[in-house]
Amino acid sequence: MPDGERNAISARWLITEAFSALMAVQPFEKISVHAIVHKAGISRSTFYLHFQDKYDLMEQMTAKIVGELLGMYEGKVSGERQKEIIEDYGDKLPIPGTIAICEHFRTYGSFYRNRFREPRFLSWLSEELRVRFLRIYRDEARATFAAGGTMGFYGRWIADGMPGSSLEIARQLCSIAMFSMHDSSLMKPTLSEQDPMPVPF
């Protein structure tokens, strides 16, 4: 890899890490580019080589992070990651992908804590989940209920500081979801041979 490309990747990483650290202690509205570059130890000119402003930075981070989350609801968890999860939790999993989703929220907790304060973001993300659940349940009401309930559950968990282990939270969510649906047959979507895991909550 050329030095210029390596330096660009390093700078972007420093910027996103600094931004994430700042979001852990203050809301997005109060974070300035000055604070980001100071935290990252880079110049403002370096920041603007990669992002137009802090809104562009947030938009790009959102595309990456939420893209990863939505991919999990489509069964797109890497084989290596699945193997790690199975080794860690064995046969205790309620639905394997739910553990990965809980750990995803832990990893990006400061990001979601900020974004979940925005009604428009919550509405958009709930709609994205509703579309994915609709493919599974093939029932508009259940898909809407599942999406709203899932977002509400994770939102409260994050706001409370994400207590408990990922296994405990996954069990709790799956138990609530299955009880609420009242029909276990609808909770078991038809999987093709290519599907890597049951669709999580």
Per-residue pLDDT reduced to its tens digit, 174-194? 777 766 554 444 444 444 433
For residue 31, is it left (φ>0), alpha (ψ between -120 and 50) or beta? beta
In whole angstroms, give the CA distance from residue 172 to residue 8. 42
**pTM higher than 0.85 for the full model?**
no
Three-state DSSP at 43 gives coil
Dist CA 11 CA 86 (whole Å): 35
Residue 184's pLDDT is what? 40
**Confidence (pLDDT) at 187:** 45
Residue in 44, 45, 49 with CA at minimum distance from that of residue 12: 49
CA distance from start to end of the chain: 39
Structure confidence at residue 185 (pLDDT):
45
What would the pLDDT profile of 67-114 be if each residue is shown by its tens digit? 999 998 876 554 455 455 545 555 554 566 888 899 999 999 999 999
More confident residue, 80 or 135: 135
| pLDDT, tens digit, 9 for 90 and up, residues 26-73 | 999 999 999 999 999 999 999 999 999 999 999 999 999 999 999 988
Give the per-residue pLDDT at 97.
80
User: Is CATH 2.170.190.11 the right assignment for the domain spanning 3-51?
Assistant: no
pLDDT of residue 146: 86
Encoding tokens for residue 169?
A: 């939270």
Do residues 102 and 170 make contact, with C-beta atoms less than 8 angstroms apart? yes
Judged against a pLDDT cut of 80, whether residue 150 lies above it is answered with: yes
